Amino acid sequence: MQKVLVTGGCGYIGSHTIVDLIDNGFDVISIDNLSNSDEKALEGIQQITGKLVRNYQVDLCDLEKTRAVFAENPGIVGIIHFAALKSVEESVFQPLRYFHNNNESLVNVLGCAQEFGVGSVIFSSSCSVYGNATELPVTEATPFQEAECPYARTKQMGEKIIEDFCKVTETVRAISLRYFNPAGAHESALIGESPRTKASNLVPVITETAIGKRASMTVFGSDYDTRDGSCVRDYIHVMDLAAAHTSCLSYLLSGKYTSPSEIFNVGIGDGVTVLEAIHAFEKVTDQRLNYTIGPRRAGDVVAIYANRDKAERLLGWKPVRGIEEIMRSAWAWQTAVRG
């Protein structure tokens, strides 16, 4: 089996992607320093797939320890790089921490890919690179606007680092996946979104409120220029997103790429407001949420959703789950595992 390294493999998207990789015949190892994740995710992966995945608890900003993982695991054919700090709000108040962690770790991963002959790298980018986009839906050609937070700026910078690196190396080819708002959980309810720090993404905030872990939740902003005044996002089921990474890896390994570094949007392709997401949850679970309307939150863009035509055309990928399945699976995970 071909060996793949997943950084941040114990995290939310990383753990679901490992399941999809194993289901498609890949052998997987993980690097995760567990700063915002838990190795219990590996137990869930093992129950789902029957495979025990080894995790190296290494900080990717430590180059020598990162190199040691590569040296111990010859023959890696691809890297899927998720590991990063990701809180929009936190990044506003800790910009240097985000610039150091997210960009230094990427540089080290790329350097190791070149040194150890790993030809395929997939970078976890984000729709936040678009800022407050001047056109909707955004395409891969939509120009960047000013980043609304340091987290988003690290993703803009990360894409440019990859682009410049791949221009001058003949051995590494890369894809930056600009994904939108991952949500939901594996259908088994054995893995899901469970950050070690306080959840800030909408869907786990909804489920934690519904189950009573939070007394109430806040909708940030009611005066945006949208259908109901709340922000618009493109929510994609985490298993659809996981499948996109496997499709990208297969695309690179097959040699179908047309340039040293490529970019793909991965989203459902439709916008849902925060209030619409809340109502979808209430509909499929028959739970009523205690929420209030609050002021806007620093770092939030008004609206963003994807044009995913390129991914469907070149990767043969498209999502198969919608907002109601996202909410249904997230609630099953919350009640069965995190209740």
Helices 323-336, 202-211: crossing angle, 10 deg rounding: 50
β-pair partners for 237? 183
CA distance 289 to 303: 23
CA distance 303 to 49: 37
Where b means 16+ CB within 10 Å and e means fewer, 267-298 reads: bbbebbbbbbbbbbbeebbebebebeeeeeee
The DSSP letter of residue 182 is E
CA distance 229 to 221: 7
Q: What tokens does 214 get?
A: 């939070």
Helices 104-115, 63-72: crossing angle, 10 deg rounding: 40
CA distance 141 to 139: 5
Q: What tokens does 66 get?
A: 């990162």
Q: How many Cα atoms occupy the beta-carbon half-sphere of 233 within 13 Å?
A: 24
Of 189, 216, 225, which Cα lies nearest the Cα of 293?
A: 216
- CA triplet 28, 32, 38: central angle to 5 degrees? 100
Could you list the active site residues?
A: 151
Count the helix, strand and coil residues of the chain and give each as a percent rounded to the nearest 5: 40, 20, 40
Q: What tokens does 134 get?
A: 């001047």
Residues in the chain: 339
CA distance 113 to 152: 24
Q: What's CA 142's distance to the chain center, in Å?
A: 20
Q: What tokens does 291 get?
A: 């929420």
